[in-house]
Structure 1
Amino acid sequence: MARHLAALMLALTALPGIAAGSWRDALPQAHMIGQGNYRWLGMRIYEAQLWRSQPPVSNDPAVVLDAPFALHLIYARDIRAQRLVDTSIEEIQRIHGNSLSESTVGQWRQALSRVLVDVRAGDRLTGVYTPMQGARFYANDSETGRVDDPVLAHAFFSIWLGPSTRDPVLRRKLLGLAR
């Protein structure tokens, strides 16, 4: 019986998304490239960290998003998942203007609703981006799900790392270009 249980546990850990490990398992050789705090109306909302196996060779958005990385957010405040989803969609729409159809926005909203969770002060949300594939999301080092849409994944991480980010100082800090 113990052998069967051990075999079952081993089989479950091999299935994607069932018993996944920490985000660090997805990027085992990553190190922090940069970090900074995001503030809104003077209140600290979260600390952001960018982790990659190697630093980007430039701050050109095409180069920044050319290799796998993890964006790690440590929250200073409680925020509901729906608020995270709504704010993410609003920022994606702001960046992309009118180029996104209502259908696409609806699909992306649903996808983000499946992977983003409520956070409390001290909680950590991490997104691991894989170019041309999508992203995996983690809450406090446990996988919450994945987005298999590379366009959505790129748009989502552009909120922080793209040239049209709302906080260019934080972007430069994440990329290791400023302190």
Structure 2
Amino acid sequence: MKQFRYGLMALLLLVCGIANSNEVDALNLTKNMKQVGKTARMTYLFWDIYDIRLYSATGRFDSQQPFVLKLTYLRDLNGHEIAKRSLQEMEKQGFDNKQLGQQWLGQMEQIFPNVSDNYSLFGVRREDGSTLFYDNNKLLGEIKDQNFTKWFFDIWLGEKTSEPAMRAKLIGGKS
């Protein structure tokens, strides 16, 4: 029983650490988490763009709890273009604050690197509602705005996503 309690305490500390620490080794972000749903692939016309996975401590998606979204790119893309496309996807869902959008775009352009085949980018929704971005080696940046976190992750996980089949696959539901 004592070992079980120590194991449970270690797991809770790890989950809290993911939610509250900037010092997390990106390669271990999902180590003790459970994948929610299935891996999905984003394809545009006939190009495979990325594979995407969603992880949480419980294996269930709750937009108000910490989770990790992992995108593994399947082609070379420019970080500034990824940032622009992210803002466009937020706008498609109804985000319409041009001034705030330009602020977020600037932050994303500073954070998002150019990516190549098999490059992984992790988006972490923290307990406080902020977002951390990692690659396989390091923390890339943080955006503390809870509204950004909601709109950004809703690109894939929101009910108004432009890819409802992908959302259903990620969260383990129906489209």
- Deviation by residue 1:117-140 (Cα, 9 ceiling, x = unmatched): 110001000100125431100112
For residues 150 and 25 of structure 1, the distance between their equivalents in structure 2, rounded to whole angstroms, comes to 24
1:141 Cα deviation after fit: 3.8
Deviations 1:5-46 (A, max 9, x none): xxxxxxxxxxx75xx332365666312113111111022110
Letter in 2 for 1:116: F
Q: How far does residue 142 in structure 1 lie from its aligned partner after superposition?
A: 1.5
TM-score (norm 1): 0.78
Distance in 1 (alpha carbons) for counterparts of 2:50 and 2:64: 25
Q: Which amino acid aligns with 1:42?
A: F
Uncovered stretches (5+) of structure 2, i.e. residues with no partner = 1-20
Shift of 1:49: 0.3
Q: Select between 162-171 and 133-142 the one with higher mean Cα deviation.
A: 133-142
Which of 103, 108, 114 matches 2:110? Answer: 114
Does residue 38 of structure 1 match 2:34? no
Partners in 2 of 1:24 and 1:31 — Cα distance?
15
Query: Distance between the aligned counterparts of 1:24 and 1:83, measured in 2?
Result: 25
Deviations 1:89-109 (A, max 9, x none): 101111115xx3221111111
Matched AA of 2:89: E
SS in 2 for 1:118: coil
Q: Give the share of equivalent positions with the same residue, in percent.
A: 24
Moved more, 20-29 or 124-133: 20-29
Q: CA deviation at 1:153?
A: 1.1
| Greater C-alpha radius of gyration | 1
Deviations 1:49-85 (A, max 9, x none): 00100133xxxxxx73121000000100000001100
Show the 5 A alignment for 1:93-104.
93-97=91-95, 100-104=96-100
Q: RMSD of aligned C-alpha atoms?
A: 1.9
For normalisation by structure 2, the TM-score amounts to 0.79
Question: How many pairs align?
Answer: 153
Which residue of the partner structure matches residue 68 of structure 2? 70
CA distance in 2, matches of 1:27, 1:127: 11
1:22 counterpart residue number: 25
Structure 1: stretches of 5+ with no match in the other structure: 1-15, 57-62
In the TM superposition, structure 1's runs of 4+ consecutive aligned residues that sit over 3 Å from their partners are: 23-29
